[in-house]
Amino acid sequence: MAKTQKTKPNQDDRLLVIACGMIAREVLAVKEQLGLDHLDLTCLPAEFHFYPDRIAPAMDKAIEKAKTEGYSNIFVGYADCGTGGLLDRICEKHGVERMAGPHCFAFYQGMEAYAKVADDDMMSFYMTDFLCRQFDAFFMKPLGLDKHPELIKDYFGNYEKLIYLAQTNDPELDKVAEKAARMLGLVYERRATGYGDLTAGMAQAAAGA
pLDDT at 98 (0 to 100): 98
Per-residue pLDDT of the chain (209 residues; tens, 9 = 90+): 444 444 455 677 899 999 999 999 999 999 999 999 999 999 999 999 989 999 999 999 999 999 999 999 999 999 999 999 999 999 999 999 999 999 999 999 999 999 999 999 999 999 999 999 999 998 888 888 888 888 888 889 999 999 999 999 999 999 999 999 999 999 999 999 999 999 999 999 999 86
Q: What pTM, to 2 d.p., does this model score?
A: 0.90
Separation between Cα atoms, residue 67 and residue 92, nearest integer Å: 15
* Structural domains of the chain, with CATH: 13-102+196-206 (3.40.50), 110-190 (no CATH)
Using alpha carbons only, give the angle 90, 208, 199 rounded to the nearest 5 degrees: 85
